[in-house]
Chain A
Amino acid sequence: MDFLVENGLLVDADFSEDEFFIDRLAQVKHSKVRVNHLRLVLTEKCNYNCTYCFESPKKLEGELDWDSLRKALELLIRHNKDAKDKGIHIHFFGGEPLLKFDIIQRSVDYVDSNKGDLIPKYHITTNGSLIDDDKVGYFKKHNFRVGVSLDGPREVNDMNRRFSDGRSTFEVSLKGFNLLKSNEVENFILITPSEATLNNLDKICRWAVLELKPDSLTVNRPQYDYGWGVNGKLFSEKMKSVLLFCEKEGIKLNSPASQVVSALKYQSTALRTCASDFDTATLVVTADGRLGYCTIYFGRDIFDETLRSRKDLDSESLQNWFSRSVLDNESCRDCIAVFICGGICPMQSMKRHANCGQLVNDPEKCSFFKDFTEWAVRTLV
């Protein structure tokens, strides 16, 4: 009895669930978030034309100008200079970011010259097609973590990932990845599930681990449009198999499934939406020089904060954005995954309903997190 009470499993008969949530919500509203990670959309251009890409339908060709990029880096450094944790993360993204390799080099030079005692970590997500010996040498010298998007064996990869003229991208991406591997650059393979590939996701991941031997494997969240676009229950089933396989092979897995496992393992409660990780957060800088309050880049149309006029990364609107909580939505309060999934995605709500104040569940995302969390609880004990 004593144990049950001490660990909150039994509560006093007059315990109020509402008061508990109000108290937790107040914790979120009154704590500040520090931005220690920028995702920089260097260009919207790409030499591939992947079917699921958020850029494809819009045919945008914007490129981030140096003045805006330098300003973003300057603000990131200034925003973190007094932080206890000296780590900052700079993630080059696109389109295909290696189309702007000169800008990447200029950015790294700028950060290295101005970082003070901060410790920058550079990341890049690329299709791998433009990786050559020179770039590999550069990545190695500057300790980059390089992710190559490759969706599986040729027949699977080429279902969604092709050049604009329809040619296969498989060999080209694979060649780039192998150059990273042979030169021991920190790497990962990024697999994006889609409705067409979901049935074989477990086999695809096994293939990637056994054939490509990446340092780690990332299974993307299904690409947002007006929802996850894949069956959440089936995605959960497949990820159970992928997770167990990666554990057996001793390979690190990043995915919505590992988000659940990590939360349970470390009892790290997600009180805010998934856009922020406890007290730190990622911002995206769009190709037209605006700030977006989300790790995930949804295309430029969703953002309205212009970077050039900013004096600090921090702002009232930023703190308001990150004060959103899973508990803002009544429909989440009874869910088994309430403090794991980050709740309703305000970005996705904005995409679907043109109003991020109106938070609406994505049933497939909910289905995934509920099913996977219950399985993980039963399995991990």
Chain B
Amino acid sequence: MKSKGKDQRVMGRNFKLSPFVRIFDKGDGCILFHRTYLSIYSCDKELKKLLKCFEKSQAICPDNLGKSVMA
């Protein structure tokens, strides 16, 4: 799964990482596991960076995400 950047539908809303998601490191990327839907995703390093921002923060509005990902 690759990060596609910001989508218009999520702009202006505040998001947090679901409390049901577990992130496992895997080399450059990571594995995402949703433990209530039992879904598993393999993520590339761009998305891993994005997720790290959400891991660190309580809630993020995508409008402010650009700087965080670049940092």
Contact = CB atoms under 8 A, between A and B. Distances in A.
A336 B9 contact: no
Given A269-B38, A336-B35, A9 B4 contact: no
Nearest to A17: B19
Interface string A9-25: 11111110100100010
Main secondary structure of the interface of B (DSSP, over half): mixed
A3 B46 CA distance: 14
Given A3-B1, A13-B58, A339 B18 contact: no
A378 B32 contact: no
B34 interface: yes
A267 interface: yes
A15 B59 CA distance: 11
Contact of B4 (A2, A24, A263): A2
B35 A267 contact: no
B31 A269 contact: no
A9 B24 contact: no
Contacts of A20: 20, 36
B31 to A, nearest CB: 5
A12 B14 contact: yes
B4 A12 contact: no
A210 interface: no
B31 A264 contact: no
A261 to B, nearest CB: 11
A269 B3 CA distance: 27
A178 B24 CA distance: 46
Nearest to B62: A1
Nearest to B35: A336
30 contacts: A1-B4, A1-B6, A5-B7, A5-B9, A7-B37, A7-B39, A8-B36, A10-B15, A10-B18, A11-B19, A12-B16, A13-B14, A15-B16, A15-B19, A17-B19, A17-B20, A20-B20, A20-B36, A264-B38, A264-B40, A267-B39, A269-B37, A336-B22, A336-B35, A339-B35, A377-B24, A378-B31, A380-B40, A381-B31, A381-B41
